[in-house]
Structure 1
Amino acid sequence: MLSRNEAKYIQSLGHKKNRDNEGCFVAEGVKVVDELIQSGFAIRKIYALKKWAADNSDIKDVIEVDEAGLKRISNFETPNKVIAVFEKKKLRQSPDFNNKITLVLDGIQDPGNLGTIIRTADWFGIENIIASPDTADIYNAKVVQSTMGSIARVNMIYTDLDGFLYSNKIPVYGAMLDGEAVSAIKKTEECFVIIGNEGKGIRENIQPYIQKKISIPKIGNAESLNAAVATGIILYSLKIKI
């Protein structure tokens, strides 16, 4: 049975401030919830339809709810069988960037884009993502949903990019319209790859750190390329060079 206070509490976690204060976040859907459970995320509470609850009877802290109750606490139009409240994982604040490609996100504000970028990074074996403070929150419900569980495997650090890039000596690539075609860039095992804001690109104060500008050649008439799609093309070109 879902109480009114529980419903209000779950709804409150839609706000970043409350997620930060409580140290937890909401995940929805069978695939995402299963991935996070298997990855060892600590469970606060799970709210599920009768069948999911029965199929996962070994899991503690499961509250059975009906479809109306699930919809009441969902962030989406069509809830998918299960909603869980998990504790945030502890991020590695000083990871090793040597001999690795690391993504640097400068103001990626669309939650769907960020979630897809995290999922894409996971696909290509990217361990760490560095993000500006104004990048969307990794624990935003739409981000969590879009990652399809990849937040369990990708470490994401929010920090001042100016200071971060200044203090690191690894080669810096930047996705820019006037860059060299990424297909012509040699395969690399170590660099930072900066992906800029969906509409404004990489900020001017960050551009001086870029040692190699890279771009995706335009063939058709589209005005721009989605940030997540661009990230996938760039990572493929840098890591799977044939």
Structure 2
Amino acid sequence: MISKARIKMIHALEARKHRLREGLFVAEGPRLVNEMLRSARPAYLAATARWLSANAGLLPPGCPADEVSEDELRQASLLRAPQQVLALLPLPRYRLEATLPQTSLCLALDGVQDPGNMGTIVRVADWFGIGDVICSHDTADVFGPKAVQATMGALARVRVHYTDLPHYICQSGAPVWGTMLDGQDIYSQPLGSHGLIVMGNEGNGLSPRVRELVGHRLLIPSFPPGRPTTDSLNVAIATSIVCAEFRRRQQ
């Protein structure tokens, strides 16, 4: 059975200020929680008998856990349709080295606002073997419930950092690519195996400060050229296309 105080605390974690205060975030559903349990020890877990019987081996010894009914899980859940298990996990703390993009390919996000896009981009990074996503302070919090769900467990492998992005780009001394409507066709431009790929805000693109620091401006062309079409791609879709092309060149 899950206590009323615990339910209240779980719901409080929907807000960023409470996540920071408690040092915890919420993950829900078998696929997501099972992925996270392979790399993080939960502070608490609530699950149905069905999940516990199938996944007992994933729980570390001494992990605080409650067996709950589906109705109890529904009361605690931040989702419209709870899915067998809910875990409270510690917010990770990573050290961000300025030299990181000099030896590896990293994503940088400049003001991405939608939590669904944020989580999907982390999932894209995981798929293409990009281990670090470096975000401006005004980018959506990846540890919010909607973003966490959209990562589908990629947070177990991808490190997400928040920093003063223009300052970090200047410090890194690495090549910087960014997508812009006035950029050059990505399929005809030289691409590298290390550096920063910067993706901008859904409505406004890259901020003026970051735009000035982009050394290689890229465009994902529509097809066929000159045909009337939508004015831009969703940022998560654009990130997928760009990452796929970078990795294709390395094969």
TM over 0.5: yes
Aligned to 2:25: 25
Alignment identity in percent? 37
1:229 match: secondary structure: helix
Aligned to 1:197: 201
Aligned to 1:224: 232
Residues 100, 172 of structure 2: 8 Å contact kept: no
In the TM superposition, residue 99 of structure 1 has moved relative to its aligned partner by 2.7
Question: AA paired with 1:2?
Answer: I
After TM superposition, where is structure 1 displaced by more than 4 Å over at least 4 residues in a row? none
Whole-Å separation in 2 of the counterparts to 1:180 and 1:138 = 31
2:20 match: secondary structure: helix
Aligned to 1:71: 74
Whole-Å separation in 2 of the counterparts to 1:152 and 1:33 = 10
Q: Is 1:123 the counterpart of 2:127 in the alignment?
A: yes
Residues 187, 240 of structure 1: 8 Å contact kept: no
In the TM superposition, residue 98 of structure 1 has moved relative to its aligned partner by 2.0
2:102 match: secondary structure: coil
Whole-Å separation in 2 of the counterparts to 1:66 and 1:185 = 56
Whole-Å separation in 1 of the counterparts to 2:14 and 2:152 = 18
Aligned to 2:7: 7
Aligned to 2:170: 166
If the length of structure 1 is used for normalisation, what is the TM-score? Answer: 0.95
Aligned to 2:49: 50
In the TM superposition, residue 10 of structure 1 has moved relative to its aligned partner by 0.4
Q: Is 1:62 the counterpart of 2:70 in the alignment?
A: no
In structure 2, runs of 5+ residues without a counterpart are none
2:103 match: secondary structure: coil
Residues 179, 218 of structure 2: 8 Å contact kept: yes
Q: 1:149-160 counterparts in 2 under 5 A?
A: 149-160=153-164
Question: AA paired with 2:127?
Answer: W
Whole-Å separation in 1 of the counterparts to 2:112 and 2:125 = 15
In structure 1, runs of 5+ residues without a counterpart are none
Residues 101, 172 of structure 2: 8 Å contact kept: no
Q: Say what the alpha-carbon RMSD is for the aligned residues.
A: 1.4
In the TM superposition, residue 148 of structure 1 has moved relative to its aligned partner by 1.0
Whole-Å separation in 1 of the counterparts to 2:56 and 2:191 = 48
Aligned to 2:103: 99
Q: Is 1:233 the counterpart of 2:237 in the alignment?
A: no
Q: Deviations over 1:96-127 (max 9, x none)?
A: 22232111100011111011100100111111
Residues 195, 202 of structure 1: 8 Å contact kept: yes
1:166 match: secondary structure: helix
Whole-Å separation in 2 of the counterparts to 1:166 and 1:188 = 18
Residues 186, 238 of structure 1: 8 Å contact kept: no
Counterpart among 89, 112, 116 of residue 86 in structure 1: 89
